[in-house]
Homo-oligomer: A and B are copies of this chain.
Amino acid sequence: MDTIRTYFNSFITLSDTEWSDFKKCLSQKLVEQKSFILKKGEVCSYLAFIENGLFRFYNMEDGEEKITSFFFSGDFISNYRSFLTGLPSKHFIESMQDSVIYKIDKKDLLALYDKHQNLERLGRLIAENLYLNVAKRLDSFLFDSPKQRYEDLVRRNSKLLEAIPQYMLASYLGIKPETLSRIRARK
């Protein structure tokens, strides 16, 4: 759980009381490989923190997986859109390894916001950070070539490349597996 507090501290310093109240709301969950922590049609009512593991976030289109994100140890994971709106998820979240996560329910989180302004601030800072991430990914689709997107991915997250099959990486980059092979061969 200390990893979570370290992550929070990159945004804001929590007092011991604030952290202790937050920690009380976390529940640990062991997730076997190839299990779903969210299925299409379900409402995502929690945020989870990955203590150990690897997950992918995808939807199915004409029988084909379209991968939006991978999540690693140390990442927060959620269908944040479904979490915020209360609308059913269009995506699946599936574990790619045996994993350990900590979950917090939305109702508990909102109660913590009421109790501690500092946690409300943390919620704002994390929402702003998630905005920056998704805006960056939108820009990469609008303005970068597949080759640039691949190189950017390698630079930012080289651990991705070891743990993930090529066809999934291609799906994440929005390109065909053959195109990814060509890009890698040229390097």
Interface residues of A (CB under 8 A from B): 59, 61, 66, 68, 80-81, 84-85, 113, 117, 120-121, 123-124, 127-128, 130-132, 134-135, 137-138, 141-143, 174
Contact = CB atoms under 8 A, between A and B. Distances in A.
Contacts of A134: 131, 134-135, 138
Given A84-B132, A134-B138, 6 more contacts: A59-B143, A66-B142, A120-B124, A124-B124, A127-B131, A141-B141
| Ranked 5 nearest A-B pairs via Cβ | A124-B124, A127-B127, A117-B117, A138-B138, A131-B131
B81 A142 contact: no
Chain A facing B: main interface SS:
helix
A174 B139 CA distance: 12
Given A127-B127, A130-B131, A134-B131, A68 B142 contact: yes
A132 B81 contact: yes
Given A120-B120, A124-B123, A138-B137, A143 B85 contact: no
Nearest to A131: B131
Contacts of A123: 124
